[in-house]
Chains A and B, each alone.
Chain A
Amino acid sequence: MREGFRQAMTWLHNWAGLVVGWLLLVIAAAGTLSVFRQELDAWMHPELARGAIDQATAGAAAIAWLSRHAATAPAWFIDLADMRSPGSLAYWAEGPDFVAKMLSPLTGAPDGIRDSLGGEFFYRFHFELQLPHPWGRLLAVVAAEMLLVVLITGIVAHRRIFKDFFTLRSGKGQRSWLDGHIVLGVLALPFHLMIALTGVVTLITLFMPWAGPAAYKGDRAALSRDLYPAIERPRSGIPVPLAPIAPMLRVAEARFDGAGISTINVYNPGDAAQVVTVSAGETSDIAVQQHNISFDGTTGRMLGEFVERRPAMRVQGFLYGLHMGRFAGLASRWLYFLSGLMLTAAIATGLILWTAKRRRPHGFGHKLVDRLNVGFIAGMPLAFALFLVANRLLPLGMAARAVIETRCLFLAWAAALLYAACRDTTRSWRALLMLAAAACAAIPLADLLAAPLPGGPGALDGVAIGVDAVALGFAGLFAFCARRVRRHAAA
């Protein structure tokens, strides 16, 4: 291969990696945590019992509560409780805003359940970045595209990729960072390539925003109807109560052939034109395919059933399914989590390597990158950990509790960035890594302090042990890194 080409690829790898590096770091870390989104949801709502759930009963209870408390909403959307998710998450529009409430699968009410975004926060943050629609998603798709560029140019740039496959040398400065970067990038390379490509496919309509409207001559509603076929009826204005929902859910469960129910959407509730659409849950198939059954909400009669069989949509569903990993059993989910951690760490080591390689440590650009690295690489885990600690320590009855939990995260992150900007980087690395370690160690402590009664809902079980053990593992890792920084500074 010609050296000129390799150098050009190296240049592109370095600069493309730097420009989107911090964004990719955040997206990769949040995506990694959302592998266990339902488990985090369960951990962050310890009032809800975990285990087997009768979905028809849970659905009926949620609908009964919504009929009383959101009767005027144009539609209700419910992510129904299942084996992994202990509560039903209901959404509805109230004026210009959307309201979300976690509902008990037994009573259907949110009473006594702490107000928290739970694992949903990390899932949404992964591709919406807490920005208004569509800016977060646009940034996420650009980042996914750039990740593909960075990965491919990285493969070309590192000529000794196979010779150095098992090599990880410590205490050799820049060489050690390069070893770490290559090892983390190469070990899970198939995962990294897959997750970047499928990430682009997942947000394909934003990646190529003009293709669909051009084919449909600007009729976006027709495009949406073709992509996601559903039975729609205009509101009639005649008030009619909703027919009992449980029989509809039992019919749907029987037709879903063991897949369970994922979502219940009720359009025009309380109106003669009301439609109930029930979607099938996760199966062991890699592909995520639409399987919906619609019922007349007034009579309970089945209106239609849709199973996605179009080849292009099946391919898209397969790639989307690979990205989401919903098919994965527990072992595969841990492997997704591990691979996601390796991607996050590869991005972090790449960013650190950028500064380690530069010879002008006193230039403005170098200082800026160095300080942003500290604020993001050490500040982000600190903020994420404090989000979980806040979940346990904030008073249960606090108004807008979920918003305050999220604010805790962003305030801690902003403080970390500010601290990193003002202090010498060696000191700020050490201080923030120690704080991140302490915050991670505080997660199981806070969990124990706010522990529910033994044997009660949310008591110490697999989910609680898993979250607490992973937090302790991260605490050990950050403490180890802080110790290495101190030793390095002393040397």
Chain B
Amino acid sequence: MSFLLALLAFLALAAGTYRQSVLLLASANSPGRRRALLLLGYALLGFSLLPLAADPDWARRLVQWFGELSLAVLLVVLLCWLVGLARSHP
């Protein structure tokens, strides 16, 4: 659950940056929409911590959460890279 939320968070954060929004959506988001996506991304990142709060084994889960963040952002970076490759070699 926290991994899925982190993945969605990083997708929103990527779409909230100018360069990645152009890459992912083929056109730049408006500054207002980018700000909203960034806010959504940070909120989702915060929410991804919630399942840990309810877990009695929260310390171990927190270590795992950091690993899940790395995996989630790696997947988003690879997605952006693949989209970039596809766009440059249509």
Residues on A lying within 8 angstroms of B by beta carbon are 163, 165-171, 183, 187-188, 190-191, 284, 286, 322, 327-328, 331-332, 335-336, 338-339, 342
Which chain A residues border B4 with CB–CB below 8 Å? Answer: none
Residue B47 is within 8 A (CB to CB) of chain A in the complex: no
**A363: shortest Cβ distance to chain B, in Å?**
33
- In the complex, what distance in Å separates the CA atom of A334 from the CA atom of B88? 33
Interface size class of B (residues with CB under 8 A): 20 to 34
A194 closest partner in B (C-beta):
B66
In contact, B81 and A163 (Cβ under 8 angstroms): no
Q: Do the beta carbons of B59 and A342 come within 8 Å of each other?
A: no
Q: Is B17 an interface residue (CB 8 A)?
A: yes
Contact (Cβ within 8 A) B70 A168: no
B70 A165 Cβ-Cβ under 8 A: no
Given A327-B60, A332-B60, check contact A342 B76 (CB 8 Å).
Answer: no
- The minimal Cβ–Cβ distance linking A76 to chain B, given in whole angstroms, is 33
CB-CB nearest 10 A-B residue pairs: A335-B67, A188-B70, A168-B81, A166-B14, A332-B64, A190-B66, A166-B20, A187-B73, A187-B70, A166-B80
In the complex, what residues of A have CB within 8 A of residue B57's CB?
284
Interchain CB contact under 8 A, B67 and A338? yes
Q: Given A163, A183, A328, A331, which contacts B77 in the complex, CB threshold below 8 Å?
A: A183
Across-interface contacts of A190 in B (CB, < 8 A): 66, 69-70
Query: CB-CB contacts of B50-85 with A at 8 A, as 1s and 0s?
Result: 000000010110011011111101101110110011
Least Cβ–Cβ distance between B7 and chain A, in angstroms: 13
Within the complex, what minimum Cβ distance (angstroms) separates B25 from chain A? 13
A338 to B69, CA, bound (A): 12
Beyond the given A167-B20, A286-B59, could you list 7 further A-B residue pairs with CB under 8 A, ordered by the A residue number?
A: A165-B17, A168-B81, A187-B73, A328-B63, A338-B74, A339-B70, A342-B74
Q: Out of A169, A332, A339, A342, which one reaches B84, CB within 8 Å?
A: A169
Q: Contact between A338 and B19 (Cβ–Cβ < 8 Å)? A: no
* In-complex Cβ contact of B63 among A163, A169, A286 (8 A): A286
How many Å lie between the Cα of A379 and that of B80 in the bound state? Answer: 31
Least distance between B62 CB and chain A CB atoms (Å): 9
**Among candidates A163, A166, A286, A328, residue contacting B76 with C-beta atoms closer than 8 Å:** A166
